[in-house]
Amino acid sequence: MIRQPERPLLTRDDIPDLPPWIMDATSVFNPGAVRIDDTDHLLLRVQTRGRRTFLVPTRRDKVATPPTVLRGLDTGGVFHIYDPRLTVLDGRLLVVTALDTAHGGRLALWEATGDVTSGWAGLERLDFIGLTGNYDTRNGVLFPRRSGGEYLLLERPNRVVADGAPPTGDTVQLLASDDLVTWRAVGPVFGGRPHYWDELVGAGPPPVLTPRGWLLIYHGVATHFGAANIYQGGCLLLDRDDPTRVLARCRDNILEPRRTWELTGQVPNVVFPSGLTVKPGGDVNIYYGAADTCVGCATTTLDALLAACGDEGADP
């Protein structure tokens, strides 16, 4: 993968003061992304000096709109709404966000209902649809089409607890729903690989349908170094008709922290892929959070990502 450009795409200096919400932003990272009318639209996670989180729409690198207005969710007991993932499904722009609540992590679904002629793809306003469940979970991504009439979603339940650390997870599972409101677990999809680069895992951007199946970019965390966790990006291929079946999976990461701005920041040693867009012809932009401080962009192709998955079948 090639970083474009060889510096962060967006930093705190690119976030204008948006009073009264954001003044002198501390960081911008983990954006959702969608390509509409040949334009990449991002929904940024922006953090203030008070460590409050706002979602801010942008067109690639043009930040000039107030934070997204969130409607319909009772925010009592909700501290942060963050890490958006964007999916166009049945002609609707849908957003999955993580919630930091008094009872742990949750996933919320929203629909973009802003003015699509304003230049922000409707992301200046989100209407709440529902929660995926009532348990601690993160990293939710919607598939961009239904299967057998059902909506499909990947998530990573937080079932791994280490001393002194927040709950996390090492298994991604598939959910299904008839209405986007009530969800049922279908089964596990893939897990972490102990002692290697992806011991803990979570879905990155929403999967992309290719002739070989569903291509999923995910993040893996190496924890066995003891001194620090290292967040990296990888890819795998899921069966088109049965996304719980892994057809192929990369053995090595496809993106790892190497630049200074990926190695140092609020959370060191992090590249966190969260947005992906595909151009005609198969060129790919992958947007990622770097050290929980800034936004990076790396380019590749669908063919290169499929080749990275390999054809030897998945590791256990």
137 in any annotated domain? yes
Provide the pLDDT for residue 224. Answer: 84
Provide the pLDDT for residue 294. Answer: 98
The two structure tokens encoding residue 218: 């995910």
Q: Mean of the pLDDT values across residues 155-161?
A: 90
Number of domains in the chain: 1
For 45, the domain range is 9-309
For residue 5, cis peptide bond before it (omega within 30 degrees of 0):
yes
Question: pLDDT, tens digit, for every residue of 180-229?
Answer: 999 999 999 999 999 999 999 999 999 999 999 999 999 999 998 776 89
Any residues with CB less than 8 A from the CB of 237 and at least 6 apart, and which? 210, 212, 213, 214, 215, 216, 246, 247, 248, 249, 306, 309
Question: pLDDT, tens digit, for every residue of 12-51?
Answer: 999 999 999 999 999 999 999 999 999 999 999 999 999 9
3 in any annotated domain? no
1 in any annotated domain? no
Q: Mean of the pLDDT values across residues 219-241?
A: 92
* 91 CB-side CA count, 13 A: 0
Question: pLDDT, tens digit, for every residue of 281-312?
Answer: 999 999 999 999 999 999 999 999 999 998 54
Q: Give the model's confidence band at 4: pLDDT under 50 very low, under 70 low, under 90 confident, else very high.
A: confident
Q: What is the CATH number of the domain that holds 38?
A: 2.115.10.20
54 in any annotated domain? yes
The per-residue pLDDT of the chain, averaged, comes to: 94
14 in any annotated domain? yes
Q: Mean of the pLDDT values across residues 93-116?
A: 96
2 in any annotated domain? no
22 in any annotated domain? yes
256 in any annotated domain? yes
Provide the pLDDT for residue 168. Answer: 87
Provide the pLDDT for residue 132. Answer: 97
Residue 312 Cα to chain centre, angstroms: 27
Provide the pLDDT for residue 163. Answer: 65
**Distance (Å, whole) CA 26 – CA 265:** 11
